[in-house]
Amino acid sequence: MLFKNLSVFRLTEPFSWSPEQMADKLSGLTFKPCSAHQEKNFGWTAPVGQSLAHSCNGFVMVCGKQEEKVLPAAVVNELLQEKITAAEDRQGKKLSKKDKSSIKDELMFELLPRAFSFSRKTYAYVDTKSGWLIVDAASAKAAEELLSNLRKCLGSLPVVPLNTVAKPIETMTAWLSSGDVPENVTIADECELRSPEEAGGIIRCKRHDLAVPEIKNHLESGKQVIKLALNWSDRIAFVLDENLAMKRLKFLDVLQDEIADIEAEDETARFDADFSVMSLEIAHLLPHLLEWFGGENRS
């Protein structure tokens, strides 16, 4: 499987856990489906095969799984209002906020066993050689939830978000304004611009020629780039945001061909082929990314 998003964290200390030790620690929080009255539950599951910490070429992958019960708000609110109205009619008075809250709790307890549920998996891996932790998460919140659970199991997890000397917003704005981009980088057809003042306006462009005067006018009026679609060496395409997170990651034909050329006898071998090519390519990309923004800021 190939990641679709990259939230990148720097390990501030050498990663001391072996895959076996890591799997043992994670086993204290293995995934279990929600009980009848649980709204959600998180646990670790094997990325592939049986181990909770799957190792390949010095990279160690884990997978968090979360299940949530789905109760449509409109349905809950309608049933709640019916119960509140019935209780007020019986008592001949308006209910207090506390009484309404108690009725809602009782209603949720009654509905949860009948609710639909859905689950999602979040993958992450540790690059033990270069000192990175990479999470396949589309939002900072989802990435932090996984790190929080990982920290809970391991006892500590010394990581910080990726940070660079140059500010990404200023650098990406300069790229789009001048067209002067780093070697092997091409600006694609998507960006998001924001006015610097508080609650400033936002312009979103997709499948759009970003060299047109309209875009330049927005930049000249003071708007700054907070997201920009990039192509690196015709190997990886992604949308880079102001926090250096990469969204909608695509491994392009060159890498897809490399993966397809690897013979895989079973599911684990196929997984390792994807994992190996992906992790090595990302390990090659990240030093370039740091260089684009003036190097890593570890202060």
pLDDT at residue 188, as a whole number: 95
What's the rounded mean pLDDT across residues 234-246? Answer: 96
pLDDT at 76 over 90: no
Residues 86-137 have pLDDT tens digits of 888 888 888 899 988 888 888 888 888 888 888 999 999 999 999 999 999 9
Predicted confidence band of residue 239 (pLDDT cuts 50, 70, 90): very high
Predicted confidence band of residue 62 (pLDDT cuts 50, 70, 90): very high
Predicted confidence band of residue 70 (pLDDT cuts 50, 70, 90): confident
pLDDT at 200 over 80: no
**List of residues 6+ apart from 58 with CB closer than 8 A:** 127, 128, 129
- The DSSP bridge partners found for residue 134 are 8, 125
Residues 165-187 have pLDDT tens digits of 999 999 999 999 998 999 999 99
**List of residues 6+ apart from 56 with CB closer than 8 A:** 272, 275, 276, 279
- What are the backbone angles phi and psi of residue 194, rounded to the nearest 5°? -140, 140
pLDDT at residue 64, as a whole number: 97
* Residue 115 exposed, middle or buried by CB count within 10 Å (0-12, 13-18, 19+): middle
Question: Whole-structure pTM over 0.95, yes or no?
Answer: no
pLDDT at 51 over 90: yes
Give yes or no for a contact between 143 and 115, defined as CB atoms under 8 angstroms apart.
no
Residue 240: count other Cβ atoms within 10 Å of its Cβ.
23
**How high does pLDDT run on average in the chain?**
92
pLDDT at 238 over 80: yes
Give yes or no for a contact between 293 and 287, defined as CB atoms under 8 angstroms apart.
no
